[in-house]
Amino acid sequence: MISKISTATIYGIDGIKIDVEVDISFGLPAFNIVGLPETSVKESKERVRAAIKNTGFEFPNDRITINLAPADVRKEGSSFDLPIAVGILVSMGVINAEKIKGYLIAGELSLDGRVKGIRGVLPITMLAKKEGIKNLIAPGENGKEASVIQGVRVYGATHILDIVHFFRGEQELEVFSSEGDLSLDQYAIKDGLNFSDIKGQAQAKRALEISASGGHNVLMIGPPGSGKTMLARRIPTILPPPVYEEAIETTKIHSIAGLLNANRYLVAERPFRAPHHTISDAGLIGGGHVPKPGEVSLAHNGVLFLDEFPEFKRNVLDSLRQPLEDGYVTISRVTHAITFPARFMLIAAMNPCPCGYWGDTRRACSCSATQIRKYRSRVSGPLLDRMDIHIEVPPVTVRELSVEREEESSETIRERVINARNIQRERFSGKKIYSNSHMPPRLIKKYCILSEGGKSLVERAVEKFGLSPRAYHRILKVARTIADLEAKEQIEESHLAEAIQYRALDKRMTV
């Protein structure tokens, strides 16, 4: 008897519908899986055989053929265990074939028949909704994650026997629902971090507020101990909550990466990723035999913080150019290419020289001009050009540290950031653009109109600092954000002057 079970596999960040066709026929005992299965899928034969036997059923001593259709799509992962087992039980007559119609099934099996959690349940659920499949049977530990998508009835199974009894009408499976439980404004100061902890550094705080308000990239340059990492670690406390579409996009990526669980089934806050400088280009951008998302994609709609910026390998840093410009990365293989979203704020921190004290008035620099030039050359000009804001973070004096003064809190700064983002959301309504940093040239021309005085000011700055057309556009975007923070309709010369100030390090960094 032939049976057919609907399931799905992950391709990039999306699900692809797969039909698991099971045929049990007379002949020499065999168990074959065809249809481009990867090693993890081929190994499911032993898991399925043991799970069926250990739950009290007699495994058929016949010729079993499993076809995963369409046959030209490569299948990988352990989520095929459960649909294959259910298909065999249907072909054996244990489950009525009519009962399984209208269900999509995915899950991994242990040898005793328990259903274990899998990666990528969210895109699988989104696929079910797109295909018009109303019911999904998933592992119980993935139930909350799958229920984020409305319009699909999500059943959670903990054992294969639960599914057998369910289709026989002998018991019910747990139904998961997240209605009324999808708040995206779950604001809390994480780990006690707050901008009020930082003494002084008013200019750096201002620059990071502008960055958070418009989604701009920032390069911080300063000696060791000046507070660069402290500032960067507190950026999540002033970021606005993501809109629903952003949260779903981010959750899909984290679902595929296996970073979700029953307690964290929706990424309701903007991600903050801080990889070590020894990371490879595949770890940062994504890759592998079966491409997986890298740090730039895990930071999608959030922050990617690269501390000790020049210590990263040159090829790793240069691989950031395309995602910074396009908002996505494409990983190509011989047989296929996969695109992952990667729209993030890049926050980078570096010392001015190898020893860290070049330009410090209190401590002498021990580096030669050649060493400084070599150190700075690790950050290429094209990458530096893609940083919207460059700021110097000088060391804080003991006097500033000892002053008992109330510093502005993250909550206060965040209110201003949210107000600026609301202005941008209204401005770009219906365009799938959520901040000023994502404006293409045609929208820059529309929303960044300058007065004659403003045009003259920018022209002089471009000529003086030798800025590229890209840097010119980034100045306009930053100026637009500064105007939004003041709720101004027009970009004024003072906004432009401040935006230009944040490019003043262009020349100094290339010396």
Tens of pLDDT along 35-71?
999 998 999 999 999 999 999 999 999 999 999 999 9
User: How large is the average pLDDT for residues 178-195?
Assistant: 63
pLDDT at 358: 87
CA angle (18 as vertex; 13, 20 as ends), nearest 5: 145
Proportion of the chain above pLDDT 90, given as a percent = 74
Kindly tell me the burial class for residue 22, based on how many C-beta atoms sit within 10 Å of its own C-beta (0-12, 13-18, 19 or more): buried
Kindly tell me the burial class for residue 27, based on how many C-beta atoms sit within 10 Å of its own C-beta (0-12, 13-18, 19 or more): exposed
Residue type, 95: I
**Residue 295 reports pLDDT greater than 60:** yes
Partners of 14 in beta bridges: 11
Residue type, 2: I
Whole-number Cα distances in Å, 334 to 77, 115, 291, 293, 328? 20, 35, 12, 18, 20
In whole angstroms, what is the distance from residue 361 CA to residue 320 CA? 34
Indicate the CATH number for domain 190-510: 3.40.50.300
Proportion of the chain above pLDDT 70, given as a percent = 96
User: How large is the average pLDDT for residues 156-180?
Assistant: 90
pLDDT range class, residue 291, cuts 50, 70, 90: confident
pLDDT at 507: 55
pLDDT at 208: 96
**Residue 160 reports pLDDT greater than 60:** yes
pLDDT at 185: 54
**Residue 189 reports pLDDT greater than 70:** no
34, 75 in Cβ contact below 8 A?
A: no
Tens of pLDDT along 230-285?
999 999 999 999 988 899 999 999 999 999 887 888 888 999 999 999 999 999 99
In whole angstroms, what is the distance from residue 482 CA to residue 497 CA? 10
Count of C-beta atoms within a 10 Å radius of residue 155: 21
In whole angstroms, what is the distance from residue 223 CA to residue 225 CA? 6
User: How large is the average pLDDT for residues 313-331?
Assistant: 93
Average pLDDT, the chain: 91
Indicate the CATH number for domain 2-176: 3.30.230.10
pLDDT range class, residue 504, cuts 50, 70, 90: low
Tens of pLDDT along 438-465?
999 999 999 999 999 999 999 999 888 8
pLDDT range class, residue 503, cuts 50, 70, 90: confident
Tens of pLDDT along 345-355?
999 999 999 99
Question: Domain segments of the chain: what residues?
Answer: 2-176, 190-510
Tens of pLDDT along 403-426?
777 889 999 999 999 999 999 999
**Residue 511 reports pLDDT greater than 70:** no
pLDDT range class, residue 80, cuts 50, 70, 90: very high
